[in-house]
Amino acid sequence: MSEETLSNLSREERRFAPPEALAAEANVTADWYDKAAEDRVAFWAEQAGRLHWDQPWDRVLDWDDPPFAKWFVGGKLNASVNCVDRHVDAGRGDKVAFHWVGEPEDDARSITYAELKDEVCKAANALTELGVRTGDRVAIYMPMIPETVVTMLACARLGAPHTVVFGGFSADALASRIVDCEAHVVVTADGGYRRGAPSALKPAVDEAVAKSGDVVRKVLVVRRTGQDLGDAGWDDTRDVWWHDAVDSASAEHTPESFDSEHPLYVMYTSGTTGKPKGILHTTGGYLVGSAYTHWGIFDLKPETDVYWCTADIGWVTGHSYMVYGPLANGTTSVMYEGTPDSPHKGRWWEIIEKYGVTLFYTAPTAIRTFMKWGSDIPAKFDLSSLRLLGSVGEPINPEAYIWYRETIGAGQTPVVDTWWQTETGAIMISPLPGVTHGKPGSAMKAIPGVAADVVDDEGKPVPNGSGGFLVLTEPWPSMLRTLWGDDERFKDTYWSRFRSQGYYFAGDGAKKDDDGDIWLLGRVDDVMNVSGHRLSTTEIESALVSHPKVAEAAVVGAADEMTGQAVCAFVILRDEVVGDGGDNADIVAELRTHVAKEIGAIAKPRQIMIVPELPKTRSGKIMRRLLKDVAEDRQVGDVTTLADSTVMDLISSNLQGGK
């Protein structure tokens, strides 16, 4: 977002007060800010009381060796017991945990907490049978089906950290994650339903396993689509059907208590280098953070609310706000397998009407897509059950916020724009639905218990009305503990920029408006945000240069009305290719397919421009800022620091010639 758009935005005058009825019954009230700030550690200890601890902690926070935090030190608990058993033990076994909706119509089932507990226990026994032991990593590459949640909880029950890899990632991406965290067991499905058709997953697992040396010993496979796996698609010594291994397993499983700091999961996310970072979350603090925020920011009333988060489980939002937060709170949730336009563009609204969804959490990119499809589509459905709407993943532009509030929320519901990251584990900055007078486009301020600021290059807080870098100034329970196997990179990436202040550097730019409320401005590093998905420019550049026809590549995220940012690549071809008179259109198509194969379809560049040169500084650094100007069709900015200032003219004339 440019400075100009931003100052226009901050002049946005509309304010939305919380609905009176909601405010009167709100879970979190205005006094919580002061209460939490007075004694942050005591505040978090109180929040930890939401969970069942087998052994209480001796110390709330150990910050003796920053940035390595320990929360609820000495405490013991089991995450899966907190998410299922204790609700059953408290007599709520008949309550629905998930209304699961498959993409094919009429393919739905509701699963109670008691049923979920049985499934988790069976899966835990089956995984044990397959050799999984406490501390072992399990990779999960699954569609949006109940077995995915069951597998995560079964892993948590065994103290075996899971690493869920988004089903849209390629076999190569899956393999690199399997190898990085040495997962001996992979859980997958034959496929899932997407856009009205079965979409295979198992072949990618086979390819990934083959690329992972001898790391993978067992692959557990759910039969979802019944797709033909072909003769080569099954390895009798390695592959096991879920219905053989899990269905016959015992539903009795005695859980063990784990240390509060026992690893719960690793989630890979894009960083500024080509290699994805394995974000490590541990048990106690993460569960406290996700449960508290889910309850407080969505104003959850577990007895009456029906909650739906549309994220994929392969992303952190799916972990914290489809699985751990909601289940720890005993929520009834909706889970939907497919795409929003299958079989018709009103599918989401139909689901909200059918299940009486009250709390709804989605991403700006989806909202903008629905805006484009037209308000008449949601108007055909009864959405009056909704009482709160949430947004996550990227800045929500005021038009989208207003449309969301008006068209989906009948002009009544609060919209909570929640800022957080894979690294933070839980929401950090957000309005409070019963307290905040929301401003369209602003995530407002840090929630009670969290301390955030916007600082300048030196780490000094900027005055109201100015912009800078977003930082978190105090440790919080659901913070990442390290990067899997790479403490140094953990320190460098997040804690070196403002080392003397001890601040966590989020990598986002932000501005404080005249009231001191925070407006997020997007990444300040080489990470792009495409439809709320984090992608690394360097990772896509590496994928491009791994193609034999490419000599050099530079990738930028260009503003895009629908997806927030879009991937734009500038590519220099090898001399022998340039000379062979081939058609650039063919090469562009070939390169797009190549990126999809290397990383996944989500990383496919929207645009690939074949250029003769790239703009570089005298020290050889590519000036992405100038390429961004080209990609966004703007006048090219200051070129004086280029080693060869004519390069941009060359690029521009070459592109015009090519049009």
176 binds ligand WTA (CB under 6 A): no
Work out which of 82, 310, 422, 537 binds ligand WTA, going by CB under 6 A: 422
Q: Are 72 and 150 in contact (CB under 8 A)?
A: no
| Residues placed in the known binding site for CoA | 194-197, 317, 531
- List 573's β-bridge partners, or say none: 550
Compute how many residues bind ligand WTA; rule: CB under 6 A. 23
Work out which of 204, 520, 543, 572 binds ligand WTA, going by CB under 6 A: 520
Work out which of 358, 365, 397, 421 binds ligand WTA, going by CB under 6 A: 421
Amino acid at 590: E
393 binds ligand WTA (CB under 6 A): yes
Q: Residue written as tokens 């589509």?
A: 377
Q: Which is nearer to ligand WTA, 521 or 610 (CB)?
A: 521
32 binds ligand WTA (CB under 6 A): no
277 binds ligand WTA (CB under 6 A): no
CA dihedral 98, 99, 105, 107 (to 10 degrees): 60
The DSSP code for 491 is: I
428 binds ligand WTA (CB under 6 A): no
Going by DSSP bridges, is the β-strand pair 239-241/218-222 parallel, antiparallel, or unpaired?
A: parallel
* Residues whose CB is less than 8 angstroms from the CB of residue 487 and which lie 6 or more positions away in sequence, other chains included: 68
Q: Are 296 and 426 in contact (CB under 8 A)?
A: no
557 binds ligand WTA (CB under 6 A): no
d(CA 439, CA 517): 9
442 binds ligand WTA (CB under 6 A): no
Q: Say whether 18 sits in a helix, a strand or coil.
A: coil
365 binds ligand WTA (CB under 6 A): no
Q: Which is nearer to ligand WTA, 57 or 370 (CB)?
A: 370
- Nearest 5°: CA angle at 399, between 625 and 395? 45
Work out which of 419, 469, 476, 503 binds ligand WTA, going by CB under 6 A: 419
d(CA 279, CA 484): 6
Q: Which stretch binds ligand WTA (CB under 6 A): 222-230, 293-301, 386-394, 538-546?
A: 386-394
Q: Which is nearer to ligand WTA, 140 or 160 (CB)?
A: 140
Q: Are 111 and 96 in contact (CB under 8 A)?
A: yes
Work out which of 395, 431, 433, 475 binds ligand WTA, going by CB under 6 A: 395
269 binds ligand WTA (CB under 6 A): yes
Interaxial angle between packed helices 647-658 and 624-631, expressed in degrees from 0 to 180 and rounded to the nearest 10: 30
x/- mask, ligand WTA, residues 528-547, rule CB under 6 A, reads -x----x-------------
x/- mask, ligand WTA, residues 294-333, rule CB under 6 A, reads ---------------------xxx----------------
Q: Are 95 and 87 in contact (CB under 8 A)?
A: yes
The neighbour count for residue 217, using CB atoms within 10 Å, is 15
Q: In whole angstroms, how close is the CB of 460 to ligand WTA at the nearest point?
A: 22
d(CA 373, CA 600): 26
d(CA 654, CA 650): 6
Work out which of 392, 535, 568, 569 binds ligand WTA, going by CB under 6 A: 392
The DSSP code for 90 is: I
Q: In whole angstroms, how close is the CB of 165 to ligand WTA at the nearest point?
A: 14
* Interface ranges with ligand WTA (CB under 6 A): 269, 315-317, 392-395, 417-422, 443, 506-508, 520, 522-523, 529, 534
